[in-house]
Structures are given as C-alpha cells and as structure tokens.
Chains A and B, each alone.
Chain A
Amino acid sequence: MTTHDTRPGSTGGADTPGPLHGGPDDEYTPEQLAAMPREELDRLGARYDGVQVLHVDPGPEPGSPMERRAVRQVGLTFALAGVAAFAFVVVYVGSGWFFPDWQWVSGDTGWSALFTPLLGATMGLAFSLVGVGLVLFSKKLLPHETAVQDKHDGSHFDRVTTGATLVGGLHNSGLARRKLITRSLGFMGGGLGLMLLMPLGGLIKNPNTGNPLGRTSWAEGVRLVRDDGSPIRPGDQEPGSLETVFPAVPGGNRQSDAATMLIRLRPAQLEQNAPREGQDDFGYGDYVAYSKICTHAGCPVSLYEQETSRILCPCHQSQFDVTQGAKPIFGPATRSLPQLPITVDEEGYFVARGDYPEAVGPTYWNRERI
C-alpha cells in the first residue's frame, strides 16, 4: 500500500473507489439526493436501517392556541428550572456572606439547619423541572410517529463465512497437527496463570498460630475495670444490676473480644443460680461475669432484663439466662456465653482468675479444638 500524495498531479490522497466499492452511494447519485426533500431523505435512510415510519401524528399546528399554550408551559418550566438552579448557587455561595453561616452548631434551628434541605430542595427542583419540561415538550410539541424496525436473527451467510475464516486460519496455523506446540502452550498457560495468582498468597495468613481466636487479654490477677479504667469492689453495684467491664491492660476497653458483663444477682436469682458443670466456683458471692460477645454473630449482648434474668442480643434476638450459666433459651445462638472466673484481690478489687475457659464470640469450624 502506498499513498500518492507526494506525486505531482496526484489527487492529494482522494479516494478512488476500488472495484469492490458499492452500496447506496452507487445507487443514488449526489444529483438524485440533492433533488430529494428532507423528509424523503430521512425516510430513505430509515429504510436502509430497516425502519419504516408507518404513521406520523404531527405536532400542534404552528400558531394554534394549543401550540401557544404548550410553548408557554414548556418555556415556563425551563425558566423555573433556571431560577431553582440559581437559587442553589445563591444558597451555596451566600451562606456566611450575606446569609448566616452554613456550619451547623448542635441545637441550632436557624439557617444552618436549613442549609442542607435548601440545597436539596433547589437542586431537586431544578433537575425535576428540566425533566418535566422535556417530557411536556415531547408529549405536546413533538410529532408522534409510529415506526417499525425489522428484527433479524443471526445471518446464516455471516456464520458460514466467519466460520470459514476462523477454521481456515486455525488450519493454516497447523496447531491441530503440531501437538508439541499445543501441549507446550497448555503447559505455559497453566504456569503463567498460577504465576499471576501467586501474589495473592500475600493475603494468606495462618489463623492457628498463637491461638488468637481462643485467647483474650484476661489472665490471672488482671483487674476488672470500667470503661474509664476505675476498678470495682463488691458492693459498688446494686443487686440485679449489670456493668460492662474490661481487662486492666493498655487498650483493654477497645479490644474486640474482651468486653465482659459483671452481673450482681438478686437473692432470688442467686437461689436459682445453676452454673455450668465444673464452673460452680467461677462467680464471687452474688457476682457472676460473662462474656459480652454473643456466641452467634459476635454482637455485644447488652439488653439485660433483670425481671426474667434474660440477656438479649439486639442483633438477632438470641436470649441467654444468667441464672443457668448464660444458656441460650431462645433465638439463633447455640452456645452459652463463656463465663469468666473471678475473685477479689488483697486490695478488695475484682480480678480475673484466668482467661475464659473457652473461645469467646461466634462459632467456627475448629472452635472445639482450640
């Protein structure tokens, strides 16, 4: 292929049709097309695209009252959209300038509380009015035409010719015969695919090293402290009350698995109290401590109804009975909340006697083995 644009007397690269050129340009000369009115040209093009315009319901007559009315409506809608848009700009720019400041101070019900709603109202109005204007325009002013377009399934000619090209190319490559190449290609593809997957290995970590799922910061002698770090003595709490406590270690109140409920049972509850097997001595006097992390999906169970001794998880409504070793009595949870063994140190503050005897939080595949 060469271009002829440097040779003297050439057409400057103008297109000289080759022998295979054809189509509508051959059928319709520029003179014929120039002689056709615009509507006829439109229909001609449509016919080439498989579209036939069956029926046109023209728009309202120019100058008729109906048209004038529709034009007024559409024009007014667009103008109002512009007004709303400018109102948005004024609210946005003017706040803190000729309007009061937009920044909200909690409790304020003046301009700053109106700022965001005004932005929404003006922008919403502006966009909606543009939309309404366009709909009115197409409903009331545009001609309504009914057009039919042909729908073709795949062409048999295209399938056969494309198939021939594909199969021919494949045949010429000889890949079907040259087995060594196909096999090495397969081997190479497998290798490259694996190679590209390998960096994802950086995401893989062993969850079983160091037993992070089965252990918390609780240990022998670790004090039970409130969120603000203050330790707790027996007698600080009323009977029937619940307090959330954390291990007295740095960052203990932000750990995701350490939160514990310290509950002082009422005398009546204490009488019914039936701890889990082997955990009779986990409480201290009328105090018991249970993990706050739900054994179902890990939400903090925090709604304590002391009348019924029930603790309810607000996420999925599992209910646990604190007088029965925090056994689940309704809802989707399957396991009791783990109990923290507690006692009192020589200064009279609550301390843990060790970590939880089992993993806290939701169940997983190998929980029993940890």
Chain B
Amino acid sequence: MAATATAPGAPTTRLGKTATEIDDRLIVAGPLRRTLNKVFPDHWSFLLGEIALYSFIIALISGTYLTFFFDASMREVVYDGSYAPLRGVEMSAAYDSALNLSFDVRGGLFMRQVHHWAALLFVASIVVHLLRVFFTGAFRRPRETNWIIGVVMLVLALLMGVTGYTLPDDLLSGTGLRIISAIILSVPVIGTWAHWAVFGGDFVGELIIGRFYIAHVLIIPAILLALIAVHLLLLVKQKHAQFPGPGRTEHNVVGNRLFPTFAAKATGLLFIVFGVVAALGGLVQINPFWLWGPYNPAQVSAASQPDWYILFLDGSTRIFPAWDINLPGDYTIPALFWPTVVVAGAMFTVLALYPVIERKLSGDTASHHLLQRPRDVPVRTSLGMMGLTFYGVLMLSGGNDVFADKFDVSLNAMTWFGRLGVVVLPPIVYAITYRICLGLQMHDREVLEHGIETGVIRRLPHGEFIEVHQPLGPVDDHGHGVLAYGGAPVPKKMNQIGGARRAVRGFFKPIEEPSQVELEQGREGRGLAAADEARELTSSGRPSEGGRPQEPRD
C-alpha cells in the first residue's frame, strides 16, 4: 500500500500495519469496535449464567478426553486391569474401559472426576441462574424466547446427566437404567413399543450403552451448543437487563464496556470456575464406581441415590401412592407413570410457559429492561417460593431412606411427611412469602418517608424522648420525605449514606498513619451532601471507597 503509507493517520508501527492488512481483507474494525464498546451492567447475580457456560466448556473438554479411552460396548469381557478386587470378574467392555481409564491412564481418574464435577456444577448453575432470572422478572418481554431456550437447555442438561451417568455400566448406574426402562414401559399405550425402540428389545439388551453414548457425546451436546449460541446472540442483540438505579432507564444500559473491564472480570471468573472444578476433581472423590462392581440385575446397594438433579423425580416416585388405574379391557395405567413422566412433564411445561402465564394474568405486555426486586412483585415471588418448596419436598423425599437411617426416624413416617408436605407446605410458604414481601415494601416506604433511624435519642424541652431520623432527601412542610420509591434498594443504615468515615486501610495491620487519616477525614464532609459528590452510577468499588454509598439509590 505504497499510496497510503504517507497518508495522515496511517499506521507506522509493525502491529498497526499488520492490523491494517487484516482489516483490508476481513473488514472487522467496525464490528470489533462495536463489540469492544458494548456496555455490560455490573451485578454479581449476572455472573451465574457465565458459570454455567464455563462449566459446560470444562465438561466438553474433559469429556472429549474421556472418549479417547472409553469403549461404549456391552460385550462381555473378563477384567484384567490393575484394580485387584475386580480382577477375573466378568463385566461389560464399557465398565472395563471405565475402570481402565480410572486406574491405568495417567491422570484419567482426575479427568473423569473433573468431568463429573463440571456436569454437576453445570446443572446447578443453570438452576441458580434460572432462579435469578425468575425472581427479578428478567424473563418478561422481550426476553421470553431466551427463557424458553433456557428451560429447554435445562432439560437437555438433565438428559445429558442421565445418559452420562449410565455409561460406566456399574451396579448403581445399571439400577438407574432399570428404573429408566420401567419409566418408559409405564407410558400408556405406547410404553412397550417405546421401550423396544429405545433398548432394541427387552431390558437390557446389548445396544443401550452404545445408543446412550452417541446421545451423550454427539446429539445432545450438538443441540446444546446450538442453543447456547442462540441464547448468547439474543443476549447481545437485546442487551442485558439491569437493576433500577440513578441514570438507569428502560432505554439504556449503565455499566462497564466489554474492553477491558468486563473482559478482565469475565476471564477472571472463567479461571476461577476452572480452578474450583479442577480442585474438586482431584481432591473430592465422586462416584467411585469400582466399589459398586459390574451391573447385575439381581443385586443392588442400599441408599442408591441418583445425582442431585434427578433426586426430585426419585422423590416423587417414592412418595406417590400405589395407584394403578385399571381400564376396561385389562389395560393399566401404571402408578409409576404419574410421578415420573407426568410430574416432570408438567413441571417443565409450566416453567417454560411461565412468561406467557404471567402476561395473561397481569395483563402486562410492555417491554421491560429494568429488573424488579422480588419484594415488589409479591405474587410472582410467592409463586416461585411455592414451586421451590414443592421441589424441595420432592428432593428431600428422594433421600428419605438416608434421612430415616441417619436421624433414626421411621422410613414410613418420612414417606408420609413427603406425601403430606408436598400438598400442605407450598400454600403455607406462599402465604408467608407474600406477607414478608409486603412487610419489606412497607419498610422501604417508611424509611423514604421518615428517614433512617440514627440511634440518636433526643429529649425535647417538654420531656418527650424522640429518635432523630435522617431524611434521605428533601422533605415537605411536615418533615416527611418526598422521594418516591423507584424500585432500587433503599439505604437503611447511616453507613450506607456516608454516615461513617472511611476505615484505615490495611488487611492484617494498618498500612496508613491513623492520625493522617483523621486529618484527611476532618477535611471531608459527612453525610448525604458529601456523599453526593462522590456518587457513582456503578457499584464497582475500589478499596478507597470505604464510606461511599455501595449501592445506587434514589
């Protein structure tokens, strides 16, 4: 480009010239600048979805490693590896290769445990992310599509867990597979046909591990990857929702630009998630399947529990009464059908359709980019807590034999607790949550009207004692605050509005001269007026901000 080499603004450095060469070909400068300039709001709860993404990446990488050694075959072999207690035992090639990759591959056990922990964290972070989105109303228009995609991804993550858990073909996973088989059989009309289609015949056949394997390593991850791409694309397109606060409206995003602040923080979180999962994978044993032995349909171990995310279905199955429905013509709807297929199907359908349901009930069809505090939407918050209670009782019942054993309670009593609790507790929790929400709302308004309790008691000339209240803003003739509630947290302690001066710096011992700090403090103002000048729109604080408001307020 001799013609432009001397043009004003032309790059003179090597790096600049390379960048120009690349942009001449790919024309990426514009899109790249738009990406780097993208603003992300700053709140800890917005990182939960990122944790899910990062743990999925770990599961993908560690899982690929495991496929180098795993043999998804049900061929009978005799174990001859280095784990002595099982030597000479007949088992499937799947179990044999799972043992080999744990005991005869250097670092194989570590990778397998990393994979399992990443999977557990993946589902857990999806669930917590979902709760954040639910309770803050982030699923409302225009984000319903992303909500539904999220619920579908949760279901896929569960399927991913179930298929992956089955692969080692040990005694515990084989028992789980037997239950899956019974669940498929229990579907009315098509149950036996569906079972024959999935297993290639009667339980257990020779195909199922191979089929679950391809579902686990190809079909489900491919769909998940595609959905993750759409999920993120929509997020970028619609921009992130934010909590209400000064300067924040329905038509803007206040926060940090992607580069460098947000990128540095997100990369930091990525490495911390990697680190935590790696540490868990090495230090905390999970699913030591060599202890259970190969699958044998005549054997089972007590206290057999699935991974935590399936526990709620195990619980619903345990507490469901023995109600077969016998139809004319000697047809039966098995009791097993209701607590598994129907309960799971209904739960995920209601969850996926919740944005539509709420829109119908509330009549609110407007676009929302500002999030809500759970207390401001008592009905939704109470419904959510009700659902969580339902889920919690089911989950508790999934481990009812362990509770009965450890706490020396009757197993039948635990079952009855589950049966009654699943019906009685959710409405009670609804009512309690509703009252708590209203109480919190009233307290917010009270502080806005009367100010913050200062703890300073004053005696008036006629003998009355009063507590001095610090108003949060301008007051009317009666001394009542005129600030309206804006959906943002209301400060309730004097420290939150700059009532306290900043602390002397230093973690273990002071690194400043205390007298110096006192002098400095003397020059600074105190209280609301002083804090106003230092007020920022974000809450990303540097240590020097001690005493400044930590949360935006109205």
Residues on A lying within 8 angstroms of B by beta carbon are 14, 30-31, 33-34, 45-46, 48-49, 51, 53-55, 57, 66, 69, 92, 95, 102-106, 116-121, 123-135, 137-140, 142, 144-153, 203-208, 212-213, 227, 244, 246, 253-257, 259, 292-293, 296-300, 302-303, 314-318, 328, 330-335, 361-369
With A124-B278, A315-B179 already in contact, the answer to whether A362 and B185 are too (CB < 8 A) is yes
Q: Do the beta carbons of A300 and B189 come within 8 Å of each other?
A: no
Query: For the complex, what is the distance from the CA of A207 to the CA of B82, rounded to whole Å?
Result: 41
CB pair B109–A116 under 8 Å, yes or no, is yes
CB pair B300–A300 under 8 Å, yes or no, is: yes
> Scoring B residues 188 to 224 as 1 if CB is less than 8 Å from chain A, else 0, what string do you get?
1111110111101111100000000000000000000
Give A14 to B535 CA distance when docked, in angstroms.
52
User: Is the CB of B415 closer than 8 A to any CB of chain A?
Assistant: yes
Asked if B502 is an interface residue, CB under 8 A from chain A, the answer is no
* Residue from A105, A244, A255, A303 in contact with B82 in the complex, judged by beta carbons closer than 8 Å: A105
List of B residues within 8 angstroms of A120 by Cβ: 110, 113-114, 278-283
Q: A205-B196, A317-B318, A366-B331 are in contact. Are A121 and B282 (CB under 8 A)?
A: yes
Q: Is B115 an interface residue (CB 8 A)?
A: no
Task: Say whether A364 contacts B332, CB under 8 Å.
Answer: yes
B317 lies within 8 A of A292 (CB): no
Instruction: State how many angstroms separate the Cβ of A221 from the closest Cβ of chain B.
Output: 22
Provide 29 A-B residue pairs closer than 8 Å at the C-beta atoms, listed in order of the A residue. A30-B10, A46-B37, A53-B257, A118-B282, A121-B279, A124-B275, A124-B278, A131-B270, A131-B271, A131-B272, A131-B274, A131-B275, A135-B269, A138-B265, A144-B261, A144-B536, A148-B253, A152-B251, A246-B298, A254-B297, A303-B302, A316-B317, A317-B400, A362-B186, A363-B185, A363-B334, A365-B331, A365-B333, A368-B332
Contact A317–B537 (Cβ < 8 Å): no
Instruction: Give the residues in chain B near A303, CB-CB below 8 Å.
Output: 302
Which residue on A lies nearest to B545, using beta carbons?
A57
Q: Is the CB of B264 within 8 A of A137?
A: yes
B226 sits at the interface (CB 8 A):
no
Whole-angstrom distance between the Cβ of B194 and the nearest chain A Cβ: 9
Residues of A within 8 A of B193 (CB): 204, 206-207
Q: Tell me how far the C-beta of B199 lies from the nearest C-beta in chain A, rounded to whole angstroms.
A: 9
**Which partner residue on chain B sits nearest A259 by CB separation?**
B298
The reply to whether B84 and A106 contact each other, CB–CB distance below 8 Å, is yes
| In the complex, chain A residues whose CB is within 8 Å of the CB of B511 | 69
Interface status of B260 (Cβ within 8 A of chain A): yes
Q: Which residues of B contact A (CB under 8 A)?
A: 3, 7-10, 33-34, 37-39, 82-85, 103-104, 106-107, 109-110, 113-114, 175, 178-179, 181-183, 185-193, 195-198, 200-204, 239, 247, 250-257, 260-261, 264-265, 267-283, 296-304, 314, 317-324, 326, 329-336, 339, 367, 369, 400-401, 411-412, 415, 511, 536-538, 540, 542-544
A55's partner among B280, B369, B537, B543 (CB-CB below 8 A) is B537
| Max count, chain A CB within 10 A of own CB: residue among B188, B279, B415 | B279
CB-CB nearest in chain B for A137: B264
CB pair A256–B203 under 8 Å, yes or no, is yes
Cα of A46 to Cα of B253 in the assembled complex, Å = 14
Which residues of B sit under 8 angstroms from A366, Cβ to Cβ?
192, 330-332
Nearest CB of chain A from residue B340's CB, rounded to whole Å: 9
Give the CA-CA distance A299 to B306 in the complex, in Å: 14
CB atoms of A132 and B297 under 8 A apart: no
Question: Which chain B positions have C-beta within 8 A of A292?
Answer: 298
Please list the 4 inter-chain residue pairs (A to B) with the smallest Cβ-Cβ separation, ordered nearest first.
A120-B282, A124-B279, A128-B275, A127-B275
The answer to whether residues A117 and B415 also contact, given A212-B202, A297-B317 and a CB cut-off of 8 A, is no
B261 to chain A, nearest CB (A): 6
Q: Which among A102, A203, A259 is the interface contact of B297 at CB below 8 angstroms? A: A259
Pick from A57, A124, A152, A259: contact of B282, CB below 8 A: A124
B285's nearest neighbour on chain A, judged by CB, is A116
Which of chain B's residues have a CB closer than 8 A to the CB of A132?
A: 268, 272
Closest to A154 in B: B142
> Which of A151, A204, A213, A254: most chain B Cβ within 10 A?
A151
A153 to B522, CA, bound (A): 49
Q: Which residues of B contact A123 (CB under 8 A)?
A: 275, 278-279, 282
Complexed CA–CA distance, A31 and B8 (Å)? 5
Compute how far the CA of A139 lies from the CA of B188 in the bound complex, rounded to whole angstroms: 59
With A259-B298, A366-B192 as known contacts, state yes or no: A298 contacts B197, CB within 8 Å. no
Residue of B nearest to A333 (CB): B322
Q: Which residue of B lies closest to A129 (CB)?
A: B275
20 extra interface residue pairs, beta carbon distance < 8 Å, beyond A257-B202, A365-B331: A30-B9, A104-B103, A105-B84, A106-B83, A116-B107, A128-B272, A137-B264, A138-B264, A144-B540, A145-B261, A146-B256, A203-B200, A206-B196, A212-B201, A255-B297, A256-B203, A296-B335, A298-B181, A316-B318, A330-B412
Q: Which residue of B lies closest to A28 (CB)?
A: B9
Contacts of B302 in A (CB 8 A): 303, 314
The answer to whether B301 and A314 touch across the interface, beta carbons within 8 angstroms, is yes
Q: A298 — which chain B residues lie within 8 A by C-beta?
A: 178-179, 181-182, 203
Distance of A147 Cα from B201 Cα, bound (Å): 62
Residues on the B chain within 8 Å of A121, using CB: 279, 282-283
What is the bound-complex CA distance between A131 and B250, given in angstroms? 33
Bound together, the chains give a CA A137 to CA B265 distance in angstroms of 9
Whether B276 and A124, one on each chain, are in contact in the complex, defined by CB atoms closer than 8 angstroms, is yes
Taken together as a complex, chains A and B put the C-alpha atoms of A47 and B226 apart, in Å, by 33
Across the interface, which residues of A come within 8 angstroms of B8, CB to CB?
A: 30-31, 33-34
**Chain A residues whose CB sits within 8 angstroms of the CB of B272 once the complex forms:** 127-128, 131-132, 135
Collect the chain B residues with CB atoms within 8 Å of residue A204's CB.
193, 196-197
Say whether, besides A132-B272, A302-B300, A331 and B322 are in contact (CB < 8 Å).
yes
**What's the Cα separation between A332 and B419 when bound, in Å?**
11
Would B186 and A363 count as touching, CB distance under 8 A? yes
Contact, CB under 8 Å: B322 / A334? yes
Interfacial chain A residues near B335, Cβ < 8 Å: 296, 332, 334, 363
Set of chain B residues within 8 Å of A315, measured between Cβ atoms: 175, 179, 300, 304
Contact A364 B192 (CB under 8 A): yes
Kindly report which residue of chain A lies nearest to residue B272, judged by CB atoms.
A131
Min CB gap B399→A, angstroms: 11
Contact B369 A151 (CB under 8 A): yes
Q: Are A300 and B37 in contact (CB under 8 A)?
A: no
Q: Return the chain A residue nearest B404 by Cβ.
A: A317
CB-nearest residue of chain A to B296: A254
B residues near A299, Cβ cutoff 8 Å: 175, 178-179, 300, 304
Q: Which residues of A lie under 8 Å from residue B189 when comparing CB positions?
A: 365
Q: A149-B239, A207-B193 are in contact. Are A117 and B282 (CB under 8 A)?
A: yes
Q: How far is the CA of A69 from the CA of B511 in the complex (A)?
A: 11
B301 / chain A contacts, CB cutoff of 8 Å: 314
With contacts A120-B278, A212-B202, A296-B336 taken as known, whether A328 is within 8 angstroms of B239 at the C-beta atoms is no
With a cutoff of 8 Å between Cβ atoms, the chain A residues found around residue B37 in the complex are 45-46, 49, 51, 149
Contact partner of B304 (CB less than 8 A), chosen from A137, A254, A259, A314, is A314
A91–B189 alpha-carbon span in the complex (Å): 58
Contact A146 B253 (CB under 8 A): no
Residue among A133, A138, A203, A302 having the largest count of chain B Cβ atoms under 10 Å: A138
| Chain B hits for A53, CB < 8 A | 257
Q: How far is B37's CA from A365's CA once the two chains are assembled, in angstroms?
A: 60
Q: By the criterion CB–CB under 8 Å, are A317 and B297 in contact?
A: no
Which residues of B are found within 8 Å of A125, using beta-carbon distances? Answer: 275, 279
Most interface-central of A129, A203, A296 (chain B CB within 10 A): A296
